[in-house]
Structure 1
Amino acid sequence: MADLFTALRPEREVIREGVVLLAGFADSEVLLDAVAPLVAAAPFRHMTTPGGRQMQVAMTNCGALGWVSEPSGYRYSPTDPLSGKPWPAMPAVMADLAARAAGAAGFSAFEPDVCLINRYLPGTRLSPHIDQDEADKSWPIVSVSLGIPAVFQLYGNVRGGTPTEIPLYDGDVLVFGGLARHVYHGVKKLAQESHPRTGEMRINLTFRRAR
């Protein structure tokens, strides 16, 4: 049923102002091949929030900068705190995909300098939040889904209320910018699913312009 539904979706769907879903836009096989050596160089880890809670979603980074959590807050760092080395360089195939997706959504000249690589397992979720650590929030965020499905939850300028729920499947790209950069968003708890390439796992690539 899911395969039939995904085949019938429009290639480009405007969810609300500044939020565009590009169904099946990404080649997941190519991107998963690109991600594997990045994760080998900078393994997934469960960061701890400044409040002392362990994050459910495991993550790592690639690019000129990486997003990290410290007791004093969140920030972008040029080095991996686990190794002390620079984050792995962002592969051209990933940067190109992000730029093309942003352009297809109406945001031209996007050149990401960081990609957050997130690993979701069944039962994990991402609490509603706003991405606030980028220097210039006029740039969009490009979010790529690989592996098992997820449901993206889009709120408003406050955390509560009933969200708009956006099902995301392998190869989908969600772009949000403009006023939508300032709204709360999260990911609903993942259902038990399996994917031929990733198994019981979803990989999310989140491209940003941090500086």
Structure 2
Amino acid sequence: MDRDDAHELFRLPRERAEVAPGAVHVPDWLSPDRQRELVAACREWSRPPAGLRTVRTPGGGVMTARQVCLGWHWYPYGYARTVVDGDGARVKPFPALLGTLAREAVHAAYGPDRTPGAYDIALVNYYGEQAHMGMHRDSDERADEPVVSLSLGDTCLFRFGNSESRGRPYTDVELRSGDLFVFGGPSRFAYHGVPKVWPGSGSGAVGMERGRLNITLRVSGLQG
């Protein structure tokens, strides 16, 4: 798909969809004001200490999306209270704002009768023009509460797969600024990734001229 085709798709109306059992896409869930608030907050969270960092895997690989963690610090493949693979500073607290959004997101995805867990982790990933994310599972937590994903800035191609392998079957979804994606239940440990970001496809009105921010909220199940 080239950029002109992508922009043509961006103009099509979108509806709430269950992509897989327990995996729900809610387009335009965040208001423009809330998006601007979150973009400004992400800038503050990214400042050192315990700020935005490049993630390196044990095998020597480097993630092209840069990351800052709140509440608990994620590193391949575990959690700590300090940035053990960075400046060693204590991780920033999990903001009450994100806890409220997580609860609202679970209700938006599954209905008002669903009781959300105690969300205490945020992973904020920044995608530049060439950044992507390989297929992976969010499986380092000791809880199976749904994962909440919020998108800001440029549009991406989000690939949502199955729980058995990184390959097919999978479904490709466009995530635009303000979109919500929640996956839990049978899809909680499904492989997923971001093969592509369309540079310049977002709106500067939310406070980002270029680039994509993804805020992923999780329940750790950890103590201490």
Q: Provide TM-score, normalisation by structure 1.
A: 0.89
Give CA-to-partner distance per residue, 1:12-65, whole Å, 9 cap, x none.
3222210011111122112112222111143211111111111111101112x1
| Deviation, structure 1 residue 162 | 4.8
- Aligned residue among 143, 168, 173 for 1:166: 173
TM-aligned CA distance change 1:194 to 1:151, over 3 Å: closer
Matched, 1:13 2:20: no
Matches within 5 A, 1:123-202: 123-137=130-144, 139-156=145-162, 157-195=164-202, 196=204, 197-202=207-212
| Deviation, structure 1 residue 188 | 1.5
The number of equivalent residue pairs is 202
Query: What percentage of residue pairs aligned between the two structures are identical?
Result: 31
| Deviation, structure 1 residue 194 | 4.8
- State the match for 2:83 in structure 1: 80
- State the match for 2:5 in structure 1: none
- State the match for 2:57 in structure 1: 49
Q: Specify the code of the residue in structure 2 equivalent to 1:143.
A: S
Q: Which runs of 4+ in 1 moved over 3 A?
A: 1-4
| Deviation, structure 1 residue 87 | 1.4
| Deviation, structure 1 residue 182 | 2.1
Whether the 8 Å contact between 2:64 and 2:130 is mirrored in structure 1 is: no
Whether the 8 Å contact between 1:31 and 1:93 is mirrored in structure 2 is: no
Matches within 5 A, 1:61-100: 61-63=69-71, 65-69=72-76, 74-81=77-84, 82-100=86-104
Whether the 8 Å contact between 2:122 and 2:217 is mirrored in structure 1 is: yes
SS at match of 1:135: coil
Whether the 8 Å contact between 1:128 and 1:186 is mirrored in structure 2 is: yes
| Unpaired segments ≥5 residues, structure 2 | 1-7
Q: Provide TM-score, normalisation by structure 2.
A: 0.84
Query: What is the rounded CA distance, in whole Å, between the counterparts of 2:97 and 2:138 in structure 1?
Result: 24
- Aligned residue among 96, 105, 109 for 1:105: 109
Query: What is the rounded CA distance, in whole Å, between the counterparts of 2:51 and 2:29 in structure 1?
Result: 27
| Unpaired segments ≥5 residues, structure 1 | none
Give CA-to-partner distance per residue, 1:76-119, whole Å, 9 cap, x none.
11112333332112222222111100122124223211100101
Q: Specify the code of the residue in structure 1 equivalent to 2:213.
A: I
